[in-house]
Structure formats: structure tokens, C-alpha cells
Amino acid sequence: MEKHILPDIPNLHKIDVYEAHGGYGALRKALQMKPEEVTDEVKKSGLRGRGGACFPTGLKWTFMPKSREAGSQTTGQTAKKKYLCVNGDESEPGTFKDRQIFEFNPHLLIEGTLIAAYAMGVSISYIYVRGEYAKWITMIEKALQDAYAKGYVGQKILGSDFSTEVLVHKGAGAYICGEESALMNSIEGGRGYPRVRPPFPAQFGLWGCPTTINNVETISNVPLIVKNGWEWYSRIGAAKHPGPILVGVSGHVNKPGVYEMPTGVPLLEIIHKYAGGVPGNKAIKAVIPGGSSTMILRGEQLEGVCMDAESLKAAGSSVGTAGLIVMDEETDLIQVLSRIAQFYYHESCGQCTPCREGTVWLWKVLKRFENGEGTMEDIDLLMDVANNIEGNTICALGDAAAWPVQSMVRRFRDEFEKRVKVPDSTKAEAIAV
Amino acid sequence: MLSEQNLKKLDGLKKYYQTSQALVLPALWMVQEEHGSISEEAMKYVSQLLHVPYSHVLGVVTFYTMFHAKPIGKHHIEVCTNVSCMLRGSGRLVEHLEKRLGIKMGETSKDKKWTLSETECMGSCGTAPMIAIGEEYYENLTPEQVDALLAKLERK
């Protein structure tokens, strides 16, 4: 398939190369359209968020109030400013796709940001990047400077009446800031605490103003839709979840990396054709299809499962961030799950009791299994704690901590049972026999 | 506490944000860049500079893992031990680094030259295992390559 997000064009990160390949043409085209026509185009394309939730992007944009800053003359009042946050916090274990966009195609992201800002009447967009990506922040800032210098960003863009600013905002190390409301609190200069919703960001976002948050990869799809039309886009990949998708393959494969493909490619094809198969031709014990929050699947159940929202949902998991982690037959899954649990315990912001207390509890119980100290009751305890976190917290981090545990207990109960501590009495009996 | 240049930069950022509180993270980054860590005195300074309560600044510093309230070693080595790195041998790197530097994860060497920490996923899953030293990423590492890296840093 032709690649659109990460095409094989040398030096595409440079603005003149990007322009020579039609770059910023979609922005020109969008500026000739009415803002609501742009939104409509994105809506009809079927683009769904690439940050994990697969929410329809165009629909999200329609939640923003229609009033333009300049269009408020009718009431005589100044309309509230509107904001866009481009989420590049990318911290979900197994996910490393946005990083490729920052490095190899930053102008696609900037162009998408500008088109989205135009469609929603946004005055300032913040590209929020995790602090650890210092090197990539420099790259995106350089690209942004060049875009400003060429008049693509700033006042009266390309001679139109549209003015908007774009700014890179650096995070400081917190997974939770990838959660949209925590991200806004972080931009406001606070701790990354998720907010209770409603009110939703489109009504009450940054500083109480209408705000939309979209993932870096999602925004990078926007210029493609505007350039080629929604019909073209909607025909790529899976019908209900169309478009190109960046799949990050890691773990036990010969060629780990980020691969661009249409949605709907079978997971086994991704593993064997794109990522070169499993080293030593070992069997696949398990895969985590979309980053550590998504439900684990058994190797035997992968036949026919594809990388798109509907197929993975039917298989009892989800696309998440399309960070596919492959584990071969020799993998210690208890150790894997324990490490995942440690992650959520470390990253829980601590606001909600079920998550703050539950995540550490899960980790401690899993440590017992790792050390051969777990009991049969502990297996049920894990399920009980996970069930009591799920759905009982402000944000989805609680759910994200619960799902790997629930799916592992359900699909790999044998792994836990193998690790249960043998009671001393049984040992005594064995010796007596 | 902050250089003229950084104060000017901070001032230039004001127009992009509705409150001065939004400059807390950028200001703390500048403090850390200039001083290596963020002391209590620095937190009070940021609090006064931006007219936000000291408690708020303290809350922010302690919330984000990349802000250091205590001085760290000259070279801060972080090893990702999350799943994708774990599956590709980060455990061997941890073992090797602890042995080589004579400190455990989370510790700083007596001569303040090294700080070793375990870190969460850094987005290097496709180039695992990895370590980060300061802002640099070193990927697809073997213990031998780690030795070469340490030798280079030791000379600095």
C-alpha cells in the first residue's frame, strides 16, 4: 500500500521538501472552503481517533460551539476563545508512533493542526509533547518555526482572514497527562489530575473555554482527507474504521518497528509479514494488541483477528494505540502482568481511591505470584480488586489497570495456577508417599 | 535564579496562556536547566515570580517524575524496564549497570557522578532495550555497548 503518514521520501521533515510533495496544499484548499464544510468532510471520511478510544473525529469537532470570534458582533459580546490540544504525550507502554511523525513528517502534523484550527475556529493550538521527547520537541519546534516563517501559521494565513497560533508545550513526565482532561490541567500549570465530566472539554476546557483534544496521529490524517476527499479516505482499510494506521510492533519479533498500513490487516500478517515473524520460529503465546491497557489475547485465538476497532472488539480486546506487543511461548506472563500492574500503580494520579489503592494492591498480589507465594484465593482476589476499580474512577486509567488483569486471569488462568504456592501439607504428603 | 534570557523567554510566552499559573511548568523547566534540580528556594522564587502559591509549585514539582527536588548525579541514567524492553533484555542492562556503577536502581553514587533510575515506557519499544542519559536516547543496547558508553562518559 502507498504510505501517506510516513511516506518513504528523504528529508520530508524539511519544509521545502514537504512543499515540493504537495505539502500545505490541503491547508490552501481548506481555506477556500467554509469551516463547517471541512468538519463535514472529516466527519464523512469516517476517521476515528488514533489515541486509543477510536472516537469519530469529525463528530468530536461538531461538539465545539459554532460561534466565531469575529462572528460575535450580533450579540455585541466577545465570544470565548477556542482551543485545540494536540496530544503527543505518547506514554502508553508499547506505543511509539507519534515519535515517528515528529521526526519524519512534522509538517503533516502542523498542517493538520492548522486545518483543524480553521474548521473549529480555534485561536491557539497546543501541541503537548511528553518531556522525555526532548529531542523530538526540538524537531517539531524547528518545523513550526519554518511554517511560521513561510506564513502558514500566525496572522492572516496565506492572505486569508484566518489567524491562529500554534505552540509546543512540554510535559514533565506523567502518563496521566495523556488523558485529555489531565492534559488540560497540565497546560494550565497544575498537576495532571483528570476532571470529572460533564462538563466536556468542548463546553468547558482550557480555562473554561471550548477545547478539543486530538491525538497527533489523528490530526496527521486530516490533511489527507482534505486533499483527497472523504470518499477516497473512507475506502482505505476497514469500512467502519478506515484510513491508514501506524502500528507499532514490539517484543518477540525479528523486525520490531512502526509500520504504516491500512486498518484491518490481520494481526498474524502484521507479525509475520511486516515484523518478520517470531525469532527462532517459536510459537506465539500471547499478544497485547494496542498498548498495555488493552486486553491480552492468546496466541491460538489470533486467527482472523484484524487491526481495526470492530474486529478487535469482537475478539474481546481493542485497538487502543495499535501498539502490538508479541510474546513467544517462553514468556513469563506473570512477570509481564506484574510489570504492567507496577506501571499503573506508579502512574495513578491518586485522586480516586479505587485506583490509588487498587493499583498497588494488584501489583502486590502479582508480586506474590512472581515469587511463588500466590494462592488459589489470590486469583479470585485479583479479579475482585480489578472489578472494583473498573468503572469507579474519574478517568480511564482505572479501567486501563483493570483490563489487563481481568483478561489475563480469564484467558491465562493456567499460568496463575502453575505459580500457586504448594502448601506445606501437600509437600509432606508427597514425601510420605 | 533565572537568567535574563530565560526571563525574557518566559515573558514572551505570556500571551499564549490565559493565566500566569500556566507558566509554572515552563519556568520549572528553566530552573532545572540552569541549576540541575529545583530547590525549595527555587520553588519559592517561581511562586513569587508567577504569583501562585508555594504549595501549588511544590505540588507540581513532586507530581511530575522529570522534576528533581533533590540534586541528582552528573549523569542521570534511566533504564526502561517496561514490557517491550523487558521482553528484549532490559533486565540484563539493569544488572550490568548496577554492577558496573556499584549502585542500585534509584541511587546516586557517592561521588555524585551517576544516578541510576528505572523508568516507565520511553517510546523506544521498537528499538528495545534502551537507556536514556539526560536527554539522549541510546537504543538497541547490549551490555557491551553500555560499557563503551560509560567509558565515554567517564572521561567527561
Beta-carbon neighbour count of residue A165 at 10 Å? Answer: 16
Nearest one of A404, A50, A408 to A248, comparing CA atoms: A50
* B104-149 pLDDT, tens digit each: 999 999 999 999 999 999 999 999 999 999 999 999 999 999 999 9
Angle between helices B143-154 and B90-101 (to 10 degrees): 40
* pLDDT the model gives residue B118: 97
Chain A positions touching B51 (Cβ under 8 A) are none
Beta-carbon neighbour count of residue A335 at 10 Å? Answer: 16
CA distance A96 to chain B (A): 5
Q: Using CB atoms, which residue from A96, A191, A349 is nearest to B126?
A: A96
What percent of chain A shows pLDDT beyond 70?
95
Per-residue pLDDT band at A1 (split at 50, 70, 90)? confident
The residue in chain A having the minimum alpha-carbon distance to the alpha carbon of residue B90 is: A251
The residue in chain B having the minimum alpha-carbon distance to the alpha carbon of residue A124 is: B16
Strands in chain B per DSSP E: 75-80, 114-119, 131-133, 136-138
Domains defined along chain A, listed by start: 15-235 (3.40.50.11540), 245-328 (3.10.20.600), 333-418 (1.20.1440.230)
Judged against a pLDDT cut of 60, whether residue A313 lies above it is answered with: yes
Helix (H) or strand (E) holding A260: strand A257-262
* pLDDT the model gives residue A75: 47
Judged against a pLDDT cut of 60, whether residue B97 lies above it is answered with: yes
Judged against a pLDDT cut of 60, whether residue A340 lies above it is answered with: yes
* pLDDT the model gives residue A197: 97
* A365-401 pLDDT, tens digit each: 999 999 999 999 999 999 999 999 999 999 999 999 9
Cα four-point dihedral sign B98, B102, B107, B108:
negative
Which A residues in the span 28-87 are in contact with B, Cβ-Cβ below 8 Å? 81
Nearest one of A157, A148, A77 to A117, comparing CA atoms: A157
- Tell me if B135 and A288 make a contact (CB, 8 A cut-off): no
Question: Are A101 and A89 spatial neighbours (Cβ–Cβ below 8 Å)?
Answer: no
Domains of chain B, by residue range, sit at 4-63, 75-154
DSSP A293: T
Chain B positions touching A124 (Cβ under 8 A) are 16
Residues 6+ positions from A113 with CB-CB distance below 8 Å: A84, A86, A125, A127, A166, A219
* B1-23 pLDDT, tens digit each: 999 999 999 999 999 999 999 99
- Tell me if A188 and B21 make a contact (CB, 8 A cut-off): yes
The residue in chain B having the minimum alpha-carbon distance to the alpha carbon of residue A342 is: B82
* A14-42 pLDDT, tens digit each: 999 999 999 999 999 999 999 999 999 99
Judged against a pLDDT cut of 60, whether residue A433 lies above it is answered with: no
Does this complex have an ipTM over 0.90?
A: yes
* A60-86 pLDDT, tens digit each: 999 999 875 443 444 445 578 999 999
What percent of chain A shows pLDDT beyond 90?
93
How does strand A323-328 pair with strand A284-288? antiparallel
Query: Which residue would you say has higher pLDDT here, A433 or A173?
Result: A173
Tell me, yes or no, if A346 comes closer than 8 A to chain B by beta carbon: yes
Tell me, yes or no, if B19 comes closer than 8 A to chain A by beta carbon: yes
Judged against a pLDDT cut of 60, whether residue A177 lies above it is answered with: yes
Integer Cα distance of B43 and B45 in angstroms: 5
- Tell me if A167 and B127 make a contact (CB, 8 A cut-off): no
Q: What is the mean pLDDT of residues A115-120?
A: 98
* A144-172 pLDDT, tens digit each: 999 999 999 999 999 999 999 999 999 99
* pLDDT the model gives residue A101: 98
* A125-147 pLDDT, tens digit each: 999 999 999 999 999 999 999 99
Tell me, yes or no, if A339 comes closer than 8 A to chain B by beta carbon: yes
In three-state secondary structure terms, A92 is coil
**Preceding peptide of A199 cis, ω within 30°:** yes
What is the CATH number that goes with domain B4-63? 1.10.10
The full 3-state SS of A31-86, as one line of letters, equals HHCCHHHHHHHHHHHCCECCCCCCCEHHHHHHCCCCCCCHHHHHCCCCCCCCEEEE
* pLDDT the model gives residue A71: 39
Q: Using CB atoms, which residue from A94, A173, A325 is nearest to B66?
A: A173
Cell numbers representing residue B98 in the block: 548496577
Question: Are A280 and A396 spatial neighbours (Cβ–Cβ below 8 Å)?
Answer: no
Judged against a pLDDT cut of 70, whether residue A226 lies above it is answered with: yes
Average pLDDT, chain A: 95
Chain B positions touching A175 (Cβ under 8 A) are 120
Q: Which candidate in A80, A82, A83, A96 is best for mutational testing of the B interface (most B CBs within 10 A)?
A: A96
* A248-293 pLDDT, tens digit each: 999 999 999 999 999 999 999 999 999 999 999 999 999 999 999 9
The residue in chain A having the minimum alpha-carbon distance to the alpha carbon of residue B81 is: A339
Q: Which CATH superfamily is domain B75-154 in?
A: Glutaredoxin (3.40.30.10)
Beta-carbon neighbour count of residue A155 at 10 Å? Answer: 9
* pLDDT the model gives residue A422: 80
Judged against a pLDDT cut of 90, whether residue B92 lies above it is answered with: yes
Beta-carbon neighbour count of residue A384 at 10 Å? Answer: 12
In DSSP terms, A328 is beta-bridged to A284
The residue in chain B having the minimum alpha-carbon distance to the alpha carbon of residue A349 is: B63
Query: Which residue would you say has higher pLDDT here, A1 or B138?
Result: B138
The residue in chain A having the minimum alpha-carbon distance to the alpha carbon of residue B137 is: A135
* pLDDT the model gives residue A165: 98
Chain A positions touching B122 (Cβ under 8 A) are 132
Per-residue pLDDT band at A423 (split at 50, 70, 90)? confident
Integer Cα distance of A236 and A230 in angstroms: 10
* pLDDT the model gives residue B47: 98
Judged against a pLDDT cut of 90, whether residue A427 lies above it is answered with: no
Per-residue pLDDT band at A426 (split at 50, 70, 90)? low
* pLDDT the model gives residue A421: 86
* pLDDT the model gives residue A180: 98
Chain A positions touching B138 (Cβ under 8 A) are none
**pTM of the shown model:** 0.96
The full 3-state SS of A174-242, as one line of letters, equals CHHHHCHHHHHHHHCCCCCCCCCCCCCCCCCCHHHCCEEEEEHHHHHHHHHHHHHCHHHHHCCEECCEE
